């Protein structure tokens, strides 16, 4: 398929006006430097074809299948860790320290599906999980089950302290030197977990209207503010897989609390304070001096997406210069045709270290040198590919440039969707372009999708992202509606004081190129608005008809 035929059926009235949408997956409705905003989290429903079939599998099979994994302690302690931390049962923490964040990602996926189908069983399931999270959280807002379980097993109950900030000190050991303390080790992934708590809580509130998890996220964000206001530069380098950049900015949007915006800017500034930083963690040099993609690809792409969020609120030109240069470096020299990122399992940084520039420094799951893109040994972690999509989505919203929407589509159909099986139960951690049965060495990850991976970050991330795909179909701007993804769906949205607009998209895309858009409802009291239809980069020819009549258009690919 190399051409698209667009058929529009227009209602007799049209509408204009700025859009005040604050219930989207992200909320840039008040972001001064954003040109687009999301539609509401419940505004788009897949109705037929490719994405409807996939959504049906994810909502009916995948979410429950993953819950069964989380809730089977012999397989995964994901949920059991929260039960122990909440005091519901006794035991030890088991599993990687980032499992909390992985459960929050699953929770966000459940909330995203609930926003569309209002399944009461999903609501009950979320309430069950949230009850444990709230009970597990310390009174100072900190929540990280490895540390809380360690505290409880040492006889320290931090759930009931009257003056939490005075009685719980970050970095304090609760036992011998090798035991865990809050923020004692950057590889504990606390900020990663907290960032995903924030995003899950926001989506849950927007989907259900409940604030149970959101209130916990507010307490956690307040804790993080306190931590970064009082911690040393050494402690403040806790930014492994920085989902909290996106989370903190979205919490600012959800609450209007200026302290959170200040924190988001401080998170960027403090990266330049780290001594002995690494390319692997993108803190060898300050962010404002970075113009190339480097290091661990998940950490990198999450960072870039979070900085784009900060730019949307602050408009700092230097940040956009960094992001634009990094984006060009990725797209032209370090990205696969599938939108996948992070070619290297292991490697060395071409820049050494800041303290010994001539030394060799290790990187892993990482961006390589320009054009270092092997096929059979490509790492291409699914989380990195999701991070690439999140980065491009935010760049689309702040610039309005269709080239970013092109990559959102590329990643969704290729390097993200590849991470889950057709039956919705098995997952890839890595996504090479070629799998060989007779390599002369053994790669770390299996060549077949599996239900449970010991490093379980990718499966819930894949699931929540694909459960949210409908949220990327359209954006809204001051001039009208932008169609970013094609797929059979309905859109129902409200414009400020203008009434409800409803349209239906009918298509067999991606198998066919005919797309029919019907406007079902448009308020008569409004003026004119535009419908912007994306022409994919690969499209050699685009044709448009309106109410059956051909319309000459200068349709340029990738616009």
Tokens of 97: 């320290």
- Closest of 400, 401, 382 to residue 445, by C-alpha: 382
The reply to whether 127 and 7 lie within a common domain is no
Looking at the DSSP bridge assignments, the partners of residue 9 are 518
Beta-carbon-side half-sphere exposure of residue 256 (alpha carbons within 13 Å): 3
Measured CA to CA in angstroms, residue 363 lies from 58, 212, 347 at distances of 34, 40, 5
The reply to whether 266 and 353 lie within a common domain is yes
Q: How confident is the model at residue 433 (pLDDT cuts 50, 70, 90)?
A: confident
At 246-299, the pLDDT tens digits run 999 999 999 999 999 999 999 999 887 877 788 888 988 899 999 999 999 999
- Whose tokens are 């909502």? That residue is 59
What is the pTM (predicted TM-score) of this model? 0.93
d(CA 290, CA 310): 16
Q: Please, are residues 100 and 81 in contact by the beta-carbon 8 Å criterion?
A: yes
The reply to whether 161 and 13 lie within a common domain is no
Dihedral of alpha carbons 266, 324, 469, 547, sign: positive
d(CA 502, CA 44): 10
Given a cut of 70, whether residue 130 has pLDDT beyond it is yes
Q: How confident is the model at residue 441 (pLDDT cuts 50, 70, 90)?
A: low
Measured CA to CA in angstroms, residue 303 lies from 192, 276, 384, 423 at distances of 11, 19, 11, 32
Number of domains comprising the chain: 2
The reply to whether 27 and 14 lie within a common domain is no
The reply to whether 34 and 183 lie within a common domain is yes
Task: Name the strand (E) or helix (H) holding 399.
Answer: helix 382-399
The reply to whether 516 and 381 lie within a common domain is no
Average pLDDT over residues 113-127: 98
Look at phi and psi of residue 36 and say left if phi exceeds 0, alpha if psi is from -120 to 50, else beta.
beta
The reply to whether 233 and 337 lie within a common domain is yes
SS3 of residue 206 by DSSP = helix
d(CA 132, CA 213): 10
> Of the residues 428, 459, 477, which one is the last residue of a structural domain?
477
Measured CA to CA in angstroms, residue 146 lies from 35, 190, 221, 457 at distances of 41, 10, 19, 17
Looking at the DSSP bridge assignments, the partners of residue 420 are 427
- Whose tokens are 């979205």? That residue is 250
The reply to whether 461 and 551 lie within a common domain is no
The reply to whether 467 and 496 lie within a common domain is no
The reply to whether 262 and 363 lie within a common domain is yes
Per-residue model confidence (pLDDT) at position 357: 54
Per-residue model confidence (pLDDT) at position 241: 84
Given a cut of 80, whether residue 524 has pLDDT beyond it is no
Residue 40 is classified by DSSP as P
Among residues of the chain, what percentage have pLDDT more than 70?
A: 87
Per the structure, the complete domain to which residue 491 belongs is given by 1-19+478-559
d(CA 133, CA 197): 10
Q: How confident is the model at residue 345 (pLDDT cuts 50, 70, 90)?
A: confident
Given a cut of 90, whether residue 429 has pLDDT beyond it is no
Tokens of 250: 């979205």
- Closest of 535, 533, 476, 542 to residue 505, by C-alpha: 533
Task: CATH number of the domain at 205, please.
Answer: 1.50.10.10
Given a cut of 50, whether residue 172 has pLDDT beyond it is no
The reply to whether 1 and 73 lie within a common domain is no
The reply to whether 266 and 292 lie within a common domain is yes
């Amino acid at each position: 398929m190399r051409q698209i035929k667009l058929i529009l059926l227009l209602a007799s009235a049209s509408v204009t006006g700025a859009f005040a949408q604050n219930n989207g997956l992200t909320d840039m409705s008040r972001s001064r430097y954003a040109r687009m905003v999301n539609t509401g989290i419940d505004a788009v429903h897949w109705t037929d074809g490719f994405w409807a079939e996939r959504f049906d599998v994810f909502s009916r099979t995948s979410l429950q299948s993953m819950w069964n994994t989380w809730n089977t302690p012999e397989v995964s302690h994901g949920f059991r860790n929260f039960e122990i931390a909440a005091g519901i049962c006794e035991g030890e923490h088991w599993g990687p320290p980032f499992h909390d964040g992985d459960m929050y990602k699953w929770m966000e996926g459940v909330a995203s599906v609930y926003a569309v189908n209002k399944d009461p069983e999903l609501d009950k399931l979320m309430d069950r999980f949230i009850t444990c999270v709230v009970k597990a959280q310390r009174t100072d807002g900190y929540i990280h089950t490895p540390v809380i379980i360690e505290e409880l097993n040492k006889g320290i109950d931090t759930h009931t302290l009257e003056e939490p900030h005075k009685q719980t000190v970050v970095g304090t050991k609760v036992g011998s030197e090798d035991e865990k303390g809050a923020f004692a080790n950057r590889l504990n992934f606390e900020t990663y977990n907290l960032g995903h708590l924030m995003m899950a809580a926001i989506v849950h509130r927007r989907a259900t209207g409940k604030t149970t998890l959101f209130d916990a996220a507010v307490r956690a964000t307040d804790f993080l503010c306190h931590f970064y206001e009082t911690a040393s530069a050494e402690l403040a380098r806790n930014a492994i897989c920085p989902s909290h950049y996106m989370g903190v900015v979205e919490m600012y949007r959800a609450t209007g609390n200026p302290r959170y915006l200040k924190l988001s800017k401080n998170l960027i500034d403090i990266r330049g304070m780290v001594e002995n930083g690494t390319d692997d963690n993108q803190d060898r040099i300050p962010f404002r001096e970075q113009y190339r993609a480097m290091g661990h690809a998940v950490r990198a792409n999450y960072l870039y997406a979070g900085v784009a969020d900060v730019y949307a609120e602050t408009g700092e030109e230097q940040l956009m210069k960094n992001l634009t240069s990094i984006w060009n470096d990725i797209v032209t020299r370090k990205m696969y045709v599938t939108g996948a990122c992070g070619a290297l399992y292991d490697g060395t940084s071409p820049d050494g270290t800041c303290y010994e520039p001539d030394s060799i420094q290790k990187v892993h799951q990482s961006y390589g040198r320009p054009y270092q893109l092997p096929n059979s040994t490509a790492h291409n972690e699914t989380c990195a590919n999701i991070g690439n999509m999140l980065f491009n989505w935010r760049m689309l919203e702040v610039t309005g440039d269709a080239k970013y929407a092109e990559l959102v589509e590329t990643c969704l159909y290729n390097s993200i969707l590849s991470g889950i099986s057709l039956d919705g139960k098995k997952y890839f951690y890595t996504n090479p372009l070629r799998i060989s049965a007779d390599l002369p060495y053994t790669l770390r990850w299996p060549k077949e999708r599996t239900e449970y991976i010991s490093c379980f970050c990718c499966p819930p991330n894949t699931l929540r992202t694909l459960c949210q795909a409908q949220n990327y179909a359209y954006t809204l701007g001051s001039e009208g509606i932008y169609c970013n993804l094609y797929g059979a769906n309905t859109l129902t949205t409200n414009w400020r004081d203008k009434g409800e607009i409803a349209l239906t998209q009918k298509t067999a895309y991606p198998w066919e190129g005919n797309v029919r858009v019907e406007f079902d409802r448009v308020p008569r009291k409004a003026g004119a608005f535009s419908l912007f239809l994306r022409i994919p980069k690969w499209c050699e020819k685009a044709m448009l008809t309106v109410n059956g009549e051909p319309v000459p258009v200068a349709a340029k690919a990738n616009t």
